[in-house]
A and B are shown apart, each in its own frame.
Chain A
Amino acid sequence: MLLALLLCYPGFAGLCLSMDRHHAELLGYKPTARRRSGLRLGGWLLLAGSLWAAIAAAGWAFGLVQWCAALMLSALSLVLLLPYQPRLALLAAGLGLLVSPLAALAQ
Chain B
Amino acid sequence: MKEGFRQSMAWLHTWVGLVFGWLLLAIFLTGTLAYFKDEISHWMQPEVPSRSVSNETSVILAQSYLQQHAQGVSRWFINLPDAREPVLSVMWQFPGKPGERGAFTQKLLDPATGAELQVRDTRGGEFFYRFHFQLQMPYPWGRWLSTAAAMLMFVALISGIIIHKKIFKDFFTFRPRKGQRSWLDGHNAVGVLVLPFHLMITYSSLVIFMSMVMPASILATYGEDSRALFNEAFPATSNAPAAGRSAPLVQLEPLLQQAREQWPGGRVGRITVNNPGDANASVNVMRHGGDQVVRDFGSAVSFDGVSGKLLQVAPPQSPIVAIRGGFYGLHMGLFAGPLLRWLYFICGLAATAMIGTGLVIWLGKRQLKHAKSGVTPFELRLVEVLNIASMSGLVLAVAAFFWANRLLPVSFAERADWEVNSFFIVWGLSLLHAALRRGRKAWVEQLGTAALLLASVPLLDALTVPDVLDGFLVHGDWVRAGFDLTCLAAGLFLAWAAWKMSRPAVYPSAAARSRRAVLETEVI
Q: List residues of A whose CB falls within 8 A of some B CB.
A: 1, 12, 15-16, 19, 22, 61-62, 65-66, 68-73, 75-76, 78-80, 82-84
* CB within 8 Å of A: which B324-383 residues: 330, 335, 339-340, 343-344, 346-347, 350
Residue of B nearest to A13 (CB): B172
Residue interface bits B306-318, CB-to-A below 8 A is 1, else 0: 0000000000000
Given contacts A70-B343, A72-B350, 17 further A-B contacts (CB under 8 A): A1-B339, A62-B293, A65-B335, A65-B340, A69-B340, A69-B343, A73-B346, A76-B189, A76-B193, A76-B194, A76-B346, A76-B350, A79-B174, A80-B189, A83-B174, A83-B176, A84-B176
Query: A72 contacts which chain B residues (CB < 8 A)?
Result: 193-194, 196-197, 343, 347, 350
Whether A61 lies near B172 (C-beta < 8 A) is no
B175 contact set on A, CB distance < 8 A: 83
Give 18 CB contacts A-B under 8 Å: A12-B172, A15-B171, A16-B171, A16-B172, A61-B292, A62-B293, A65-B330, A65-B335, A65-B340, A70-B343, A72-B194, A72-B196, A72-B197, A72-B350, A76-B193, A76-B194, A79-B173, A80-B189
Please give, as numbers and ranges, the residues of chain A lying within 8 Å of B271 by CB-CB distance: none
Closest B residue to A65 using CB positions: B293
Residues of B near any A CB (own CB < 8 A): 169, 171-176, 189-190, 193-194, 196-197, 292-294, 330, 335, 339-340, 343-344, 346-347, 350
A65 to B329, CA, bound (A): 11
In the bound assembly, the distance between CA atoms of A66 and B344 in angstroms comes to 10
Contacting B340 at CB < 8 Å: which of A16, A66, A82? Answer: A66
Taken together as a complex, chains A and B put the C-alpha atoms of A92 and B173 apart, in Å, by 18
Q: Which residues of A contact B190 (CB under 8 A)?
A: 76
Evaluate contact between B335 and A62: CB separation under 8 angstroms: yes
- CB pair B294–A61 under 8 Å, yes or no, is yes
Residue in chain A with minimal CB distance to B350: A76
In the complex, A19→B170 CA distance in Å? 10
**For B344, what are the chain A residues with a Cβ–Cβ distance below 8 Å?**
69
**CB-CB nearest in chain B for A80:** B174
Among residues of A, the one whose C-beta sits closest to the C-beta of B177 is A83
Do the beta carbons of B172 and A19 come within 8 Å of each other?
yes
**Chain A's nearest CB lies how many Å from the CB of B464?**
35
Cα A1 to Cα B337 in complex, Å, equals 11
The 9 closest A-B pairs by CB, nearest first: A69-B343, A61-B293, A16-B172, A75-B193, A76-B193, A72-B194, A68-B196, A79-B174, A83-B176
Could you tell me the distance between the alpha carbons of A29 and B456 in the complex, rounded to whole angstroms? Answer: 48
Q: Decide if A79 touches B193 in the complex (CB within 8 Å).
A: yes
| Chain B residues near A65 (CB-CB < 8 A) | 293, 330, 335, 340
Q: How far apart are the CA atoms of A26 and B455 in the complex, in Å? A: 36
User: In the complex, what residue of chain B is closest to A59 when comparing beta carbons?
Assistant: B293
**Which of B171, B176, B189 counts the most chain A CB atoms within 10 A?**
B171
Give B138 Cβ to nearest chain A Cβ, in Å.
35
Note all chain A residues with C-beta closer than 8 A to B343: 69-70, 72-73
Instruction: List the B side residues contacting A69 at CB < 8 Å.
Output: 340, 343-344, 347
A82 touches B196 (CB 8 A): no
Question: Measured between alpha carbons, how far is A73 from B346 in the docked complex, in Å?
Answer: 8
A96 CB to nearest chain B CB (Å): 16
- In the bound complex, residues from chain A placing their C-beta under 8 Å from that of B346 are 73, 76
Q: Which residues of A contact B196 (CB under 8 A)?
A: 68, 71-72
Q: How close is A101's CB to chain B, nearest CB, in angstroms?
A: 21
| Residue of chain B at shortest CB distance from A69 | B343
Identify the closest chain A residue to B200 (Cβ).
A68
Given contacts A65-B330, A66-B340, A73-B343, contact A78 B194 (CB under 8 A): no
**B172 contacts A82, CB within 8 Å?**
yes
Chain B residue at smallest Cβ distance from A78: B172
B330 contacts which chain A residues (CB < 8 A)? 65
Set of chain B residues within 8 Å of A1, measured between Cβ atoms: 339-340
A40 to B293, CA, bound (A): 33
Contacts of B193 in A (CB 8 A): 72, 75-76, 79
Instruction: Enumerate chain A residues within 8 angstroms of B294, measured Cβ to Cβ.
Output: 61
Expressed in whole angstroms, the Cα–Cα distance for A22 and B410 within the complex equals 57
Contacts of A71 in B (CB 8 A): 196
Q: What A residues does B176 contact at CB under 8 A? A: 83-84
How far, in Å, is A52 (CB) from chain B's closest CB? 18
Q: Which residues of B contact A16 (CB under 8 A)?
A: 171-172
Q: Look across to chain A and name the residue whose beta carbon is closest to the beta carbon of B346.
A: A73
Distance A75 CA – B344 CA, assembled complex (angstroms): 15
Q: How far is the CA of A83 from the CA of B480 in the complex (A)?
A: 35
CB distance from A54 to the nearest CB of B (A): 11
